[in-house]
A and B are shown apart, each in its own frame.
Chain A
């Protein structure tokens, strides 16, 4: 097991390295730069050169790349070009806990609501409960999250004044962002859970259990659930990684000081070090989450053997 984890981690580091390399060069290929003379025309070009020098942007790309990798190995992800005197490490250290808090609540809500809804829909297939969850699930999957966000904000913040329109100053501030974040995930998990549960319930061993007179509750909860939850677990890995690191739309709309907003703004600003820093961070999160998921498989399903 330890050997397996070690192997996976090594592979993860190699993928990260490839990821950083590709992102680094792709980013410099995009037209425009962080200090573009045509955009900042009230800044004389000589000064832009001075500033670029300060950030080492005038060196050959390969030198910049070498320096970046060197610093990265020391855990230093550089300084932001846009926000003066701020290191990328600081940005992540300040933003990640906030995003993670909202994200973790979102993940929990999605699982706590999504899994039972999926089970109910499967067990009561064709009945009212099934219809209800499927309608909900279809809405959740098809309505874009910004529409939900704007609608929720209009109703709960502006019209009824129940929740604040911005920030996370009290527990009230968490409710709408968490709900909006979980909404489409709930829908997806419900559908996933339902189809997988339906599949499992058709299996011979379920019939065997039932014919033995095992209580239905136990059949579903003990035997069917364990087998049917695997696809959900697979889906949850990347979902956790992306929700924990923040969602752009939710963070922008609800003014949450997390990481998610940088994913887009850093690219528009050509803030190279922030783009790279976030890529590395999100990349590592995904690698770790996927590893955890693979280990979970083995725990849930004894047929899955982790090969040493």
Chain B
């Protein structure tokens, strides 16, 4: 009796197990027909030939918004840059080219830009796109009631800030559609890089009746109207966005893909697994873990792009022992950036010996700003020791233990530990590392509870002001606390450059300002930022802009 019971129960258990196995073995045989590497990609090939060329692009998370005028996030920009095209846009070679604008003219004082739109521009719903749509979109973003997080980009437009802060009327804002094809923009100050700004999502046009009639218009593909290379076909929250080629796009004949599936995979392990299994074509920088970067190290599939940004550490200059520029320089010079960037940072970025990164233009030079100005300091342990001795801390004697704060992230912690060891070995200076969860971290920095803190910045347009203005007095108040006379001088130089139309003079001011910054060293520049993409060999021309947004409109897939 006992036996029969067991037999029965066991058979129940076995049956359950077997159904599981049955499922496995069925699918196992199904995929063993297509199980090997080649046939798996072949089956992916049949997939894409059925729906045309569809690129599967993996992002780590769903964009915060699909409304370009409300956007200030890089995740969202990576999607929006492919759904919309501004007056100007970033071209396939990473340089600025014309977008919706056929041409533009600048007045002699550099204050008025007149954009002429291309003929026959259409929205993705087939209706005509006019200069008025740009005017509407910009004013909408500037409207204080819209409370757009990205509005600061529009402060360059005359009375933009005043209107946003309630000190001017909408009509006083310096943007006007003269006729359907002409957009006249008046600026607050001459801004040489204004055309670059028009490629930022906040400057994209939006269609008035769509925005006003179907709130929120960005929640469904049915109500979503855009003007870029692709348009929305499906929104599957948290899962995927399905983009299809926009037949109304003015340059549709040069868009080679028939569509893009943007898939959201948060876990780096899962994304790598999907990539290795051939389920997806492109992995974005944010889902590339250390494992992916080391597995594809040296491979053509791992593509690196320079961003116009720098990773650095702030000194807390308000601390008495850090108020001496010699001490700050010594600490910065005693590091070995080659070791930190090449062995600890998975993306192996270029070490920084100045602040302004590569890719920033130097007007009047063929080379970029960095190559024109060159490196501004060197690592030198002996000199660093001398500087410490001059400042009254020979071999680190009498120097207090520094508090180095970083975010709770493995790579940042490893970097901090390397720096801690280098200071100890080279200068006899002790440092303590404290890590915080990211939100708490920024509060600690703002409140000044640190000696040295991790920081970083990626610019918005390829002009040195985007980087150098990180250290204006108002910002220093909350960050490096560099507020002495030199900081004042630095601030004045930048403010002077803001008001100038003369580019030669601006470049000179930027060069001098950067030299002063590095001479005073209120920060430790560590490396220039980069972004990487993992791209299957059968996909071409997927690219990252200098800000780090992914452009898929030039991409092709075999």
Contacts and interface: CB of A to CB of B under 8 A. Distances in A.
Contacts of A40: 72, 149
A285 B130 CA distance: 52
A37 to B, nearest CB: 7
Contacts of A41: 475
Interface residues of B, number: 71
Given A150-B269, A216-B2, A31 B439 contact: yes
Interface in A225-281: 252-255, 257-258, 261, 268-270
Contact of A255 (B149, B164, B265, B276): B265
Contact of A31 (B67, B151, B276, B443): B443
A28 interface: no
A124 B445 contact: no
Interface in B7-34: 8-10, 12-13, 16-17, 20, 23-24, 27-28, 31, 34
B147 A50 contact: yes
A167 interface: yes
A220 interface: yes
B373 interface: no
A165 B1 contact: no
Contacts of B2: 123, 216
Given A42-B72, A215-B1, A255-B264, A167 B240 contact: yes
Interface in A152-197: 153-154, 157-158, 160-167, 172, 175, 179
Interface stretch (B231-239, B242-250, B379-387, B422-430): B231-239
B274 interface: yes
A95 interface: yes
Contacts of B266: 252, 255, 261
B551 interface: no
A129 interface: yes
A42 B64 contact: no
Contact of B279 (A33, A37, A51, A165): A165
Given A38-B443, A167-B239, A85 B152 contact: no
B442 A157 contact: no
Interface in B385-406: none
B47 to A, nearest CB: 12
A303 interface: no
B50 interface: no
Contacts of B65: 83-85
A62 interface: no
B218 interface: yes
A86 B216 CA distance: 9
Contact of A36 (B150, B239, B439): B439
A268 B237 contact: no
B440 interface: yes
Contacts of A166: 263, 265, 270-271, 274, 279
B10 A84 contact: no
B126 interface: no
Given A36-B443, A38-B446, A255-B239, A116 B151 contact: no
Contacts of B271: 165-166
B509 interface: no
A216 B307 CA distance: 74
A123 B8 CA distance: 13
B555 interface: no
Contacts of B443: 31-32, 36, 38
A157 B277 contact: yes
B94 interface: no
A46 interface: yes
B236 A270 contact: no
A240 to B, nearest CB: 19
A107 interface: no
Contacts of A119: 9
A261 B219 CA distance: 20
A18 interface: no
Contact of A113 (B16, B164, B263, B439): B16
B273 A157 contact: yes
A115 B151 CA distance: 60
A255 B27 contact: no
Contacts of A269: 439
A132 to B, nearest CB: 11
Contact of B460 (A38, A42, A50, A84): A42
Contact of A216 (B1, B215, B437): B1
B4 interface: yes
B40 interface: yes
Contacts of B239: 167, 255, 257
Contacts of B273: 153-154, 157-158, 165
Interface in B183-221: 215-216, 218-219
Interface in A29-64: 30-33, 36-44, 46-47, 50-51, 53-54
Interface in B60-97: 62, 64-65, 67, 70, 72
Contacts of A86: 219
Contacts of A36: 439, 442-443
Interface in B146-185: 147-152, 164-165
B149 A47 contact: yes
Q: Which of B24, B70, B239, B271 gathers most chain A CB within 10 Å?
A: B239
Given A84-B64, A120-B9, A39 B270 contact: no
A47 B141 CA distance: 12
B342 interface: no
A116 B164 CA distance: 68
B279 A44 contact: no
A83 B6 CA distance: 54
Interface of A: 30-33, 36-44, 46-47, 50-51, 53-54, 82-86, 94-95, 112-113, 116-117, 119-120, 123-124, 129, 150, 153-154, 157-158, 160-167, 172, 175, 179, 215-217, 220-221, 252-255, 257-258, 261, 268-270
10 contacts: A39-B438, A47-B151, A85-B215, A94-B238, A158-B277, A175-B20, A255-B239, A255-B264, A268-B438, A270-B439
Given A32-B437, A37-B446, A216-B1, 4 more contacts: A42-B152, A43-B150, A154-B273, A161-B31
Which 10 A/B pairs are nearest by Cβ-Cβ distance? A32-B439, A257-B238, A165-B274, A38-B442, A85-B216, A38-B446, A216-B1, A39-B442, A84-B65, A217-B5
